Amino acid sequence: MPFTFKQFHIDDSHCGMRVSTDGVLLGAWANLRQAEHILDIGAGSGLLSLMTAQRTSPTSQIIAIEIDKLASVDCQINAQNSPWAHKITVIQTSIQHYVQQFLQFAATSLVPNTKFDHIICNPPYFSHGPQTQIEARATARHTNHLSFDELALAIYHLLSNTGEASLIIPYQEEIRLTQAFNLNKMHLCKRVEVSSVEGKPANRLLMSFMHGEQGLCQSGVLNIRDRLGYYSPQMANLCQDFYLKL
């Protein structure tokens, strides 16, 4: 279903994971200050790449990795039709294959690889339970093709020493994701509990990781809507540059 934001338009007709509040939250929340070289893992329709392009300098460059062929076509078209076509490069491949090529180049080239200042990802998170028969949706939602361990390892290899990786996951997946990053000597540096309505338990987590085994972690709480059903002041402030009605 097509979705229009203030500065760009998304057509996600061929994507397993459609435009969602999760993606918008992550794209608006991620700390992109001074980020010039950015990676979007599992780009889908290109929502996060386009939000990142809108928020960063004219010289920044975004690599959008998407394993599904049809979704990568949507991503490419959406990028080309945006004001930032020159900033976004879409690559149709798995992140595992991209990392393999990255490491091979690093081992054989005299020119050092440029690692990423920021990596952003709305990852697949279901590791069990029934799966849809629609392959693209199963790939986007389940960890069949990208486990948390594989994702954390990829980020470990691709993120610069001072870089940051931002993700959004279901609340109940926190331990599993954090353990995967800890195994790769990366630590949680930001954690925001997200509740759909003020007063309800959190059902999502915004999380950022950096290199290193220990470090301070900033924490917070975000309510998407208040008790009357309106966007909370936090949500409105976070997403006002994107949603048409804010």
pLDDT tens digits, residue range 110-143? 777 789 999 999 998 745 454 445 444 444 443 4
Neighbours of 73 (CB within 10 A): 16
Q: Decide: 49 and 21 in contact? Cβ < 8 Å.
A: no
Is 156 part of any domain? Answer: yes
Tens digit of each residue's pLDDT (9 = 90 or more) over 90-106: 999 999 999 999 999 98
| Count of alpha carbons within 13 angstroms of residue 125, beta-carbon side | 19
> In which residue are the tokens 């004001």 written?
83
Is 246 part of any domain? Answer: no
Is 201 part of any domain? Answer: yes
Is 244 part of any domain? Answer: no
Tens digit of each residue's pLDDT (9 = 90 or more) over 142-180: 345 799 999 999 999 999 999 999 999 999 999 999 999
- Reduce the DSSP state of residue 226 to 3 states and report it: coil
Is 217 part of any domain? Answer: yes
CB neighbour class for 170 (10 Å; exposed up to 12, middle 13-18, buried from 19): middle
Is 245 part of any domain? Answer: no
Is 196 part of any domain? Answer: yes
**Residue 10 pLDDT more than 90?**
yes
Nearest to 171 by CA among 222, 225, 120, 211: 222
**Residue 238 pLDDT more than 60?**
yes
Residue 199 belongs to a domain with what CATH number? 3.40.50.150
Range of the domain at 205: 3-239
Predicted pLDDT at 214 = 82
Distance CA 223, CA 202 (A): 8
Tens digit of each residue's pLDDT (9 = 90 or more) over 15-74: 877 899 999 999 999 999 999 999 999 999 999 999 999 999 999 999 999 999 999 999
Is 78 part of any domain? Answer: yes
The number of folded domains in the chain is 1
Backbone φ and ψ for 112, nearest 5 degrees, come out as -65, 145
Q: Mean pLDDT, to the nearest integer, of 167-194?
A: 97
